[in-house]
Amino acid sequence: MMDDPRAKGAVSSEGCAPAATSPAATVEIDGYRFPPFDLARLLRTVFELEGGERFGVFTDLPQPREVAAARFLSAVRPGGPQYHAWHTIYEPLRKSSALAPGSVDFFAYAEVGGSNLELPPAVFDLEGRERPLREVLAELDIALYVGTWSATAPLTALARQLGFRGATMHGINDRVVASGLAVDYREVSARAERLRRHLSRADAMVMEWQVDGERPRLEVLLGGQEAQKSHGLVRERGEVANLPAGEVYYVPVGAEGRMPIQFEDPERTIAIFSVAGGSIRTLERLVHGSRRLVEDWLGVIASDPAAGMITELGLGTQSLPWAGTDIQDEKIIGTAHLATGRSDHLGGAIGPQSFRDLRNASHNDILYTPVKTPRVRLERVRMRRGGEESLVLERYEPAAALRALL
């Protein structure tokens, strides 16, 4: 719970099968093979570039004025998102003759401290100048956000207003660059579309867990909606991709039952909550960790009810290695995640205006994987549609019907 993209995890290929890719020159990670990362290939595929585009690369810093003359580089963690924003995205893009960008600028903004919170109104450029964010974005064709915290929701809202295209790559690390950003997103999109069609028009998804001898069960109501996909291709102005992509998702119309959550605190607190009317309501059992943390979070929900709404159910569609960061691990086939809070970037109705305090206007993923949540095991996910029920996932393995589509 409370997606902290700085978290590091073990790496295992349990729960998904290695890809069959075997080109002449490959990078192998945990039995998966990928072509070497190629920024030009990634951006051409995602954005279908024509040349001459005006790019902006953005990252978040504790002291954003340190972007002046790139002073921040002396303090960034090698292999972290700020490192990759500069060394993997900005510098190669600026020097790329293959992509022939019209312009490439680099900006920093203050860390917001949470997932998908509203962006600060100002950014700083490499000369140390403070500039209004909206003014900067209005001058761009493509905005690339590579930082600690996810900016997908606020950036999508701004893209729809100002007409640029974008991609967010929060929390990326070396493994993400070498695997999740090295794939062909045309293939990722095609696979996601096959699974999306198979999973569309569901009335509900029923999720069952095993947690310390208990078996919480949650019915996520979907109302027969068309499933959506996060597939990585950004063709129209006003669109923003979350990279790595590869997910089928829904915006629930309700939820009833009980659900477990593992928090991101040092103790990895685990608790089971009651859910009614589509919202997290009360603590049913503290399995492990900090009672105060849980009670404080429930206090936020009590004072700002939108923070406790179940606003997403997502299912991964890619064959990737574990990267220890949710931005990639939630895209792995066999995983599932729920989310609370903001949903306007997904086509839902809950946006910043739905919250009494903008500091609570976040979108927080709750990811279940055998690596991240070994004590909270997702036993199965079943789909109800038209009076029939079918298996979707079982113990992080896709059902036979899904495997046949891969």
User: Do residues 197 and 240 both lie within one domain?
Assistant: yes
Considering the domain boundaries, does residue 6 fall inside one?
A: no
Domain that holds residue 283: 185-403
Residue 15 has pLDDT above 50, yes or no: no
Residue 1 has pLDDT above 90, yes or no: no
pTM of the full structure: 0.92
% of the chain at pLDDT higher than 70:
94
Q: Residue 225: its pLDDT value, please?
A: 98
Considering the domain boundaries, does residue 11 fall inside one?
A: no
291-314 average pLDDT score: 98
User: Do residues 254 and 371 both lie within one domain?
Assistant: yes
Where does a domain end: 151, 172, 193? 172
Where does a domain end: 146, 172, 198? 172
CA of residue 207 relative to chain centroid, distance: 20
User: Do residues 78 and 126 both lie within one domain?
Assistant: yes
Where does a domain end: 150, 172, 194? 172
pLDDT by residue (tens digit) across 104-152? 999 999 999 999 999 999 999 999 999 999 999 999 999 999 999 999 9
Cα 55 to Cα 36: distance, rounded to the nearest angstrom: 23
By the 8 A CB rule, do 165 and 103 touch? Answer: no
Q: Residue 25: its pLDDT value, please?
A: 82
User: Do residues 203 and 310 both lie within one domain?
Assistant: yes
pLDDT by residue (tens digit) across 220-249? 999 999 999 999 999 999 999 999 999 999
The two tokens of residue 319 are: 């064959």
User: Do residues 190 and 167 both lie within one domain?
Assistant: no
Q: Provide the pLDDT confidence category of residue 24 given band limits of 50, 70 and 90.
A: low
pLDDT by residue (tens digit) across 364-380? 999 999 999 999 999 99
How many domains does the chain divide into? Answer: 2
User: Do residues 219 and 125 both lie within one domain?
Assistant: no
pLDDT by residue (tens digit) across 67-77? 999 999 999 99
Q: Residue 4: its pLDDT value, please?
A: 38
CATH number at residue 96: 3.40.50
Residue 345 has pLDDT above 80, yes or no: yes
Considering the domain boundaries, does residue 141 fall inside one?
A: yes
User: Do residues 267 and 376 both lie within one domain?
Assistant: yes
161-184 average pLDDT score: 98
Q: Provide the pLDDT confidence category of residue 58 given band limits of 50, 70 and 90.
A: very high
Q: Which positions ≥6 away from 287 have C-beta within 8 Å? A: 211, 212, 214, 260, 270, 271, 272, 375
